[in-house]
Structure 1
Amino acid sequence: MRLQESSISVAELIDQFNRGDMVVNNEYQRQPRLWPSAARSYFIDTILCGFPFPKIYVLEQLRLPQMRPFKEIVDGQQRVTTIIDYAQGRFALGSNSLQFAGKRYQDLEPDDQIRFMSYAISCDVIRDAERADILQMFRRMNAYTLPLNEAEKRHSEFFGLFKDWVTERLDKWGHLITEWKILSSRGIVRMEDAELIAEIALALEDGIQSTSAAKLRKLYKKYDAEFPLQDEWSARIDETLQFIQTDLSRLQQTYMTKSYAFLSLVVSLIHNRWGIPGLADIIKIHPTGAFINTPDAFNRLADLAYAHENKDLDSPYRLYVEACIAGSNRAPQRLVRADFILKALQGI
C-alpha cells in the first residue's frame, strides 16, 4: 500500500464525479446517511469562509483495459456528498451561516462562487491497496485517536440552534478566553471553551448548580429546534464579557481568570445586573441593575484573587479560597464564590 498527500479543488472533485471517475464507496463508511441540514449548512459555510476541514481519503485504481484512473472515496462521504449537493443547488444555507444564510450556490455572488469552486480539499490518495489494507489503516488511525470528551460528544450529536449559538459566542469572545488564558490551548482544542459558554447558559436557565454532562446535554436538546431566549442570553453574555474586557481588564493577570473563578465572576456580574434564577433566595444578595455598585469593586476582586493565589486560609477570604481549592464545579462551592464576588461588586 502506498499513500500520497495531495489536494483537489472543489471544481475538480465535481468534474470527476460528473465524469464517473470518482464514486463514494459506502462499504467503508460508518454512517452512510446524510448529515442533518444544520450540519451541512455549517460545513459549506466553513468552505466559503476559507477554514480547513479534515482530509478525505481516496483509493485510486486503474480501470482496465483503458488504464484510466478510477477513484473511490473511502473516508469523507458526507463531506463530498454535501459539496456536490450544494453545488447542484439542492439546499440553501441555514441561519448558522451568518454571511450566506438562505443562499443556494446559484444565489452566491460570483466572487463567492469562485472561492467555493477553487477551495483546495486536502486528501490522501491510496494506491496498491486491498480492502484488508484499508481496514487495517483505519484501525491503526483510530488506535491513536483520543476518546471524545462530553463537550465534543455534544457538538457531534447536535446541529441545531443552541450549538450554533454557542459557536457564535465563541466566534465573538474566543479571543478573550485565549488572551486571558482562561483555558489552556489544549483545553480549547478539546472544546472546553464551548463547555464554559454552556455552563453560563445553564446558570441563566436554572441558576447556580453542580454541572453534569446530562444537564448540559439536556440544554442542547431543549433548544435544538427552537431557542426563544437566544437574543436575551446573547445580549446579557455579550454585555458582561465586554464589561470584563474594558472595566475589569486589570484582572487579566490574576487568579480571577482561573476557569472556575472566571465562570463565577461572569455569573455574579449577570446576577448583579439582571438576576440569576433562585440565587437571591439562597445567598440573600439581590440584583441592583448595575454590574458594580462601588468604585472599590476592582480592588475587592483583586483581593479575592490574591488570597486564592496564595491559598491564604488565615484571611477574611478563607471560605472563598477553600471554595476555589476543592470541588470547583459543585454547587456549594460555586455559591460561596458567588457570595464573595457579589459582596465585592456591591461593596457589602
Structure 2
Amino acid sequence: MQGSAPQTFTIAEFLKWSDDKELNLNPKFQRGPVWAPPARSYLIDSIIRGYPVPKLLLRTSIDRDTRRTIRDVVDGQQRLRTIIDFAAGKFALTSKAGEYRGFRYADLEDEEKDAFLAYKLTCEQLINASDEDVLEVFLRINSYAVPVNGPELRNARFDNDFSSYVKELSHSIPHVWDLGVASNRERVRMVDHSTVAELLGFMIRGVAEGADSDITALYESQKETPLEGLPNRADFLDVMKITAELLKDYKNEAIASRPHFLMLAAAVLYSKGLLPQSRLTFDKVESAASMLLDMDSAIAAIGHLNTAIDTPVEDLDKRALPFIEARSSSQRIPSRQVRFEYFCHALAGKSFYDL
C-alpha cells in the first residue's frame, strides 16, 4: 500500500470533485451520515472563523481507462458531507454558530464565501490501496478513537440558550481554570462546560448531585428556558471572581480541584443570597451576613483545609476528619453537605480548629 505525505486542498476543489462524481462519500466500510444539526453548525462555524479541523484520509485511485481520479473517503465523511450540504444551501446554522445563527451559505458576505471556498483541508491519501488495506486502516483509526464523554455528548445533543450560555461563560473565566479546577486536557473534553453548568444549576435550583446523568438532567430541564430566564451574568462572574480570590494562594493544589471548588463556590453563593435551599441544608452554617467580612481570615481557613488533605490520617486533627472522608463520594449530597459546611465556616473566618 502506497501512502502520501499530508497535502492541502481547498473546499472549492472538494466541491468540484463532488460535482464531477470523483468523490465517493459512501464507500462500503463507512458509516452513514449521523451528525446532528448542532455538530454540523459547529464545524461550519469553525471553518468560517478559520479554525483548524481534523485531517481527512482518502483512498485515491486512478482509472486507467477513463483517466479519472476517484477519491474514496476513508475518514472524514461526515465533515465533507456537512461542507458540501452547507455549500448547496441544504441547511441553516444553529446557535452553535453564534452570530451566524440562521445563516445559509447564500447569507454569507462575499468575502466570507471566498474565505470559505479557499479554506484548506489537510488530507492524507492512500494511493491505489486495496479494499482490504483500506478496511484495515479504517478499523485501526476507529480503534484509536477516544470514547465520547458526557460533556461532549451534551454539546452535540443540546442546542439552546442554556447550552450556549454555558459555553460563553466557560470562556469568560480563564482565571478560574488557571487555578487548576480543570486542566487544558479536561477543557478540550469540555469538563469546564460541565463545571459551569453545575454552578448555574446551583443558582437555579440549589445544589444537587453531580453525576453525569444529573448534569444531563439539568440540561434537559433548561432546554426551553430563554436567556433572560437564566441566572444573571454579573452575579455569576462576581461569584467566580470571589471564589478565585479565595483560592489564589492554592493554585494547582488539592483544595482547588473541581469537587472542592464547586462546594466553595456554593458557599460563596450562599453568602450572597444566591443559593436556593434544596437537598442541601443550611441548619449548621453561620448566617450569610457573617461571611466574607475578612478575606484574609477566610483564605487562611481554606489553607488549613488544604493542608489537612495532604496530612496522613493518623496525624490528622479529628476535627478535619469528616471533611477528608467526604472526598470518597464527592458527587453525592452527603459528601457535598459536609464540605459545604466546612467552607461556610471558612468564609466566616473559622478554621476547622475552631469547630
TM-score (norm: length of structure 1): 0.84
Deviation at 1:160, TM superposition (A): 4.5
> Which range is displaced more, 7-16 or 291-300?
291-300
State how far apart, in whole Å, the 1-side matches of 2:287 and 2:63 are: 73
- Residue 125 of structure 1 aligns to a residue whose secondary structure is strand
Deviation at 1:288, TM superposition (A): 3.9
State how far apart, in whole Å, the 2-side matches of 1:155 and 1:27 are: 29
Counterpart of 1:342 (choices 328, 341, 344) is: 344
Percent identical across equivalent pairs? 27
Q: How does 1:4-43 map to 2 (within 5 A)?
A: 4=4, 5-25=6-26, 27-33=28-34, 35-43=35-43
Q: CA RMSD in A?
A: 3.1
Q: Deviations over 1:5-60 (max 9, x none)?
A: 22221122122222332232253332324x33322222111112222222222222
Aligned to 1:314: 317
Q: Deviations over 1:124-178 (max 9, x none)?
A: 22222233322222222223333333333433444444443333232223x3354
Aligned to 2:207: 208
Aligned to 2:106: 106
- Residue 276 of structure 2 aligns to a residue whose secondary structure is coil
State how far apart, in whole Å, the 2-side matches of 1:188 and 1:19 are: 41
Deviation at 1:64, TM superposition (A): 4.2
Q: Across the two proteins, how many residue pairs are aligned to each other?
A: 345
State how far apart, in whole Å, the 2-side matches of 1:229 and 1:195 are: 21
Whether 2:274 is the aligned partner of 1:271: answer no
Q: Deviations over 1:172-192 (max 9, x none)?
A: 23x335422223444334433
Deviation at 1:195, TM superposition (A): 2.9
Q: How does 1:231-310 map to 2 (within 5 A)?
A: 231-232=230-231, 234-245=233-244, 249-252=248-251, 254-273=253-272, 274-278=274-278, 281-285=281-285, 288=288, 292-295=292-295, 296-310=297-311
Q: Deviations over 1:286-324 (max 9, x none)?
A: 774898233432232233223333356216434323324
What residue identity is the alignment partner of 2:38?
A: A
State how far apart, in whole Å, the 2-side matches of 1:280 and 1:217 are: 20
TM-score (norm: length of structure 2): 0.83
> Which range is displaced more, 229-238 or 62-71?
229-238
> Which range is displaced more, 287-296 or 217-226?
287-296
Structure 1 residues without counterparts, runs of 5 or longer: none
Structure 2 residues without counterparts, runs of 5 or longer: 351-355
- Residue 30 of structure 1 aligns to a residue whose secondary structure is coil
Deviation at 1:276, TM superposition (A): 3.2
What residue identity is the alignment partner of 2:317?
A: D
State how far apart, in whole Å, the 1-side matches of 2:290 and 2:232 are: 17
Q: Deviations over 1:236-285 (max 9, x none)?
A: 43332233345753343643212211111122212221123326744454
Q: How does 1:220-231 map to 2 (within 5 A)?
A: 220-224=219-223, 226-227=225-226, 231=230
